[in-house]
Amino acid sequence: MAAGFTGGWRSRGPRAGGRPGAGLTRAGGDLAPPRLDEILRRPLCLLQGYGGLHHACGDLYFPRSVEQLRALFRMAKQTGRRVTFRAGAQSLDAQALNDDIVISMIRFDSIEVDEERAQVTVGAGATWGAIARELAARGFVPYTAVSTSYATAGGTVSGGCLSRFSGTAGKEGSYVERMTLLTLDGQLLTLSRDEPTSALFHAVIGGLGYLGALIDITYRVARVAPPGTPIRVETQVTRCGSFEELAEALVPPPELLLPEEGGTAAEDGWIPEAIFSVAFQTLEGSRSLVLRSRYVTGTSHALRPLLTHRPRHVLRVPIEWLMRVSVVSRAIWTIIDRFIFDVTRPYVDELMGYMFFMDGNVLAKRIGQGLGMRMFTVQQSFMIPYDAGAREESLRRLTGFLRKIEEIAIRDGIPPLMFDVLHIQGDRFLLSANHGTDGFAVTLAFEAWDEDSVSRIRLRLSELSAHTLELGGRVYLVKNVYATPEQLEAMYAHALPEFVRLKQLVDPDGLLRNEFLERVFPAHFRPAPRLARR
């Protein structure tokens, strides 16, 4: 994949124009370098991951221009301090934590919609809630976006994230047209999947902010309605009698799939459909559902929302709290399964409620933590490989993995709050779990009140990581990861040498820090020596 890349950056000055979004970096044209004391700063700021398990205490800076970022990079190089990027604070693990310099990108939040090209250019700190609202007003939707409105574009593209629409549409990176990256030596690079910047393009997407500061991203978006027309989502729910039935239903027909990474002419007018599943434990055993969603326009489709797609419903917060107790969780799922799920006719949700259903979990955590509650969230995703040429064997592999989850849950008595499964097409992004292979993404979500439960959950996830490797799969790097360095080394042996080469090329002094990557790949990313803080 461009393993022989040796240079040829497509660089541009901070006043470059001629394309949407150029104004996002225009502030970089200041004549006099900014002083550090002009940059908003919170010294020794306590930071934590969204899951509540990882913490750091660093100097948090809020630059508002490229020149201020350059000033911070110069200071880091002169003092030997190390830098990590942060924005929406939605990372589950330590991907955005650092005990030294943390740079928040939230002030890079511009959004520019190009209706003619069906593209949107956004600053790295723009939240997906703001992006989706801006697009919906013009009749557009993202092809794929994460399930919380608080996440930022820079954060999710750095994670190479997926969504429920990824079952047919692939992951977020498939719709990135170009990005602007600020390197540690102050260069602004325009990256695209075309040579000569293809290698870095495919490393930055999913690279967890380890290669430079993302300034802006341009995405292709889907036109689904005339401007000003309400957009809703219709979902048909089907009960599955077995994991075999679930696995069969998750493989999309070829006509629903994105033709290839980067799109083709055939994409014009192509609208993704979501095909995904959820499974949960009731008092009567495990249950699973397959859901198929599609966009509908206008108000002729009467609203019939799912409770999970109403993040601000009065019952959402207390339910989120109660679901952290295992037996209560199973009892609530039993009630939902028996009396609330009605599969005889489709559900119809407001667009924002459907897209950002996890906002209810965010709200519950914020209120709970404000009341002094200890609320832990643990999520881990596994990629179980799928080969269309060996369909039956691939489906058996998936069903065996799902049974392993059920077996461990029964044995340990701590079932996941829920887990979901969807099919994902292969891609070329270096640290993607789907690099070079199709697969099924299996995500387990746990909520806990105490560290003892978290420890037991970690042991279970470690066991599933080992089993994933036996099946030829990988652990996703964008959520929590409980696996040994040796296991992860084997899973990502295809990508690590090239990623390390690019890291050394754009950050030869090792000024960028990623606590997460340095923990899970210690043989490749050893922390660089640091001077005393000044």
CA angle 191, 50, 533 (to 5 degrees): 75
SS3 216: strand
Place of tokens 């929302």: 305
- In this prediction, residue 263 carries a pLDDT of 62
Angle in degrees, 0-180, between the axes of helices 391-412 and 451-470, rounded to the nearest 10:
160
How much is the pLDDT for 28? 42
Instruction: Report residue 108 as tokens.
Output: 């890079």
Sign of CA dihedral 432, 433, 435, 440: negative
379 domain-assigned = yes
> Could you tell me if residue 215 is inside a domain?
no
- Tell me how long the chain is: 534
Query: Tell me, what DSSP letter sits at residue 215?
Result: E
* pLDDT tens per residue across span 401-438: 999 998 988 888 788 888 899 999 999 999 999 999 99
Per-residue burial over 483-519, b if 16 or more Cβ lie within 10 Å, else e, is beeebbbebbeebbebbeebbebbbeebbbbbbbbbe
Q: Is residue 22 part of a domain?
A: no
Query: pLDDT tens digits, residue range 310-325?
Result: 888 888 888 888 887 7
Residue 395 lies in a domain: yes
CATH number for 305: 3.30.70.2520
| Per-block mean pLDDT, blocks of 10 residues, the chain (534 long) | 40 40 41 82 86 84 95 92 87 82 94 95 96 96 92 93 91 95 94 91 95 96 93 94 93 80 62 90 87 91 88 84 81 86 91 90 84 86 95 96 91 84 94 95 89 89 96 95 96 95 93 90 73 44
Asked whether residue 381 is domain-assigned, the answer is yes
Count CB atoms within 10 A of the CB of residue 62: 15
- Give strand pairing partners of 427: 435
For 256-308, give the DSSP string.
GS-SSTT--GGGTT----EEEEEEEEETTEEEEEEEEEEEEESSSS--B--GG
**Which position has the token pair 């027909």?**
253
**What range does the domain containing 388 cover?**
231-483
Provide the pLDDT for residue 23: 37
In this predicted structure, what is the pLDDT of residue 121?
A: 98
The answer as to whether 8 is a domain residue is: no
Half-sphere exposure of 324 (CA within 13 A, CB side): 21
Measured in degrees and rounded to the nearest 5, phi and psi for residue 480 equal: -70, 150
Domain for residue 257, yes or no?
A: yes
pLDDT digits (tens, 9 = 90+) for 270-314: 788 999 999 888 888 888 999 999 999 988 888 999 888 888 888
3-state secondary structure of 250: helix
Q: What is the 3-state secondary structure (H, E, C) of 424-458?
A: ECCECCCCCCCECCCEEEEEEEEEECCHHHHHHHH
Q: How many domains does the chain have?
A: 1
Residue 154 is predicted with a pLDDT of 94
